[in-house]
């Protein structure tokens, strides 16, 4: 069986090995097509590791290229399984092309994660969890919190503290220990982040912190949302931006979480586990975390979302990998050919 693995550029090495390793172990040959912006870290490095480990020639091919290259591989008849990580727009195209040929297509797409802060929580810890959820890896992670939903009783204080925390973070060369945030992937992504922030401020959001950049270094940004959602709240920004919106009841919080096309991850922060679990039962999402940030992943735990975040496939764990990279076959065996039934 031949597998084609297409990668996004958020965490290229981790995303690559998560699919390539189990696919190879289960007897497949693999074509790995990394994002052209991360062709080395998301492709060549991994190929070199497998080469040094003695992997037989011809089992792993790294094929960098643009969307045209990706579409050609998806539609190649000898490719029987396609695993894709990337945006919902690109994922729909991959699903369309694979579906025409009745291929198994596994989609892990973008998210606009919700971080819900209840009014009984330790606010200092909640602020740190919220900052980590939105600013880790400069927000360039599908699990990043793109919506902070905060109970109205602690909303003002949370916004103030998160803004102060953001202003205190150092942005620069990530190889330095004192630096918290490094650069965005390229100028196009920086411009998109800034356009979403600017459009949101124009739509009524209050700029609490950030909203400025130097080269590819974008300051961690906090936006106090108006009543009508802004672009930075509605869309997956893929940058260090934390839009914050208040709610009054658990019911309203559940409605706000559900009011999104994506359904990847939800984080609920509370001192009352009963309230946390009650809300967890009411919200959609492929992964729900109570008292953990949205960025929470274990390689042996099923990873994936619903809605525009994926098509139901889950990556990780023995059962998921077996289902993904093998075919089910029924085999019978008799010691001798029986007499005909007729």
The residues near 243 (Cβ < 8 Å, ≥ 6 apart) are 146, 147, 148, 200, 205, 223, 225, 230, 232, 233
108 is a catalytic site residue: yes
Asked if 157 is an active-site residue, the reply is no
Half-sphere exposure of 45 (CA within 13 A, CB side): 12
The rounded distance, in Å, linking the Cα atoms of 316 and 22 is 9
Report helix angle 123-135 to 155-167, nearest 10.
50
116: its two tokens: 């819900």
| Of 189, 113, 145, 141, the residue nearest 15 (C-alpha) | 141
Tell me the C-alpha distance between 196 and 259, whole Å: 19
The CA distance from 147 to 288, in Å, is 14
Residue 283: count of CB within 10 angstroms of its CB: 19
* Pairing, β 262-263 against β 306-307: antiparallel
The single residue of 108, 225, 235, 236 carrying the catalytic annotation is: 108
Catalytically annotated residues: 108, 142
């Amino acid at each position: 069986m031949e597998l084609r693995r297409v990668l996004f550029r958020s965490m290229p090495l981790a995303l690559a090995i998560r699919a390539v390793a189990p696919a190879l172990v289960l007897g497949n040959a693999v074509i790995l097509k990394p994002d052209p912006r991360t062709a080395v870290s998301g492709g060549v490095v991994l190929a070199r590791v497998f080469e040094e480990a003695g992997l037989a020639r011809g089992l792993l091919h790294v094929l960098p290229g643009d969307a045209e290259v990706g579409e050609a591989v998806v539609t190649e008849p000898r490719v029987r399984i396609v695993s894709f990580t990337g945006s919902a727009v690109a994922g729909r195209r991959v699903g369309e092309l694979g579906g025409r040929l009745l291929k198994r297509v596994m989609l892990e797409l973008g998210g606009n994660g919700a971080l819900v802060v209840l009014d009984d929580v330790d606010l200092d810890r909640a602020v740190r969890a919220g900052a980590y959820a939105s600013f880790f890896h400069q927000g360039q992670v599908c699990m990043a919190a793109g919506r902070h939903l905060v109970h109205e009783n602690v909303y003002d204080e949370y916004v103030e503290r998160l803004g102060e925390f953001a202003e205190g973070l150092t942005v620069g060369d990530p190889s330095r220990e004192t630096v918290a945030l490094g650069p965005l992937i390229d100028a196009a992504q920086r411009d998109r982040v800034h356009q979403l922030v600017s459009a949101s401020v124009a739509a009524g959001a209050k700029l609490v912190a950030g909203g400025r950049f130097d080269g590819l270094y974008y300051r961690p940004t906090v936006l106090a949302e108006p009543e009508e959602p802004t672009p930075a709240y509605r869309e997956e920004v893929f940058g260090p931006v934390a839009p914050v919106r208040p709610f009054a009841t658990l019911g309203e919080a559940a409605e706000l979480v559900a009011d999104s096309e994506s359904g990847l991850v939800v984080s609920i922060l509370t001192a009352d586990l009963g309230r946390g679990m009650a809300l967890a039962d009411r919200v959609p999402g492929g992964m729900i975390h109570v008292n953990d940030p949205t960025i929470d992943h274990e390689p042996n735990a099923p990873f994936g979302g619903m809605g525009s975040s994926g098509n139901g496939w889950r990556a990780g764990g023995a059962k998921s990998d077996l289902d993904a990279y093998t075919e089910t076959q029924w085999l019978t065996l008799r010691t001798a050919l029986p007499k005909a039934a007729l």
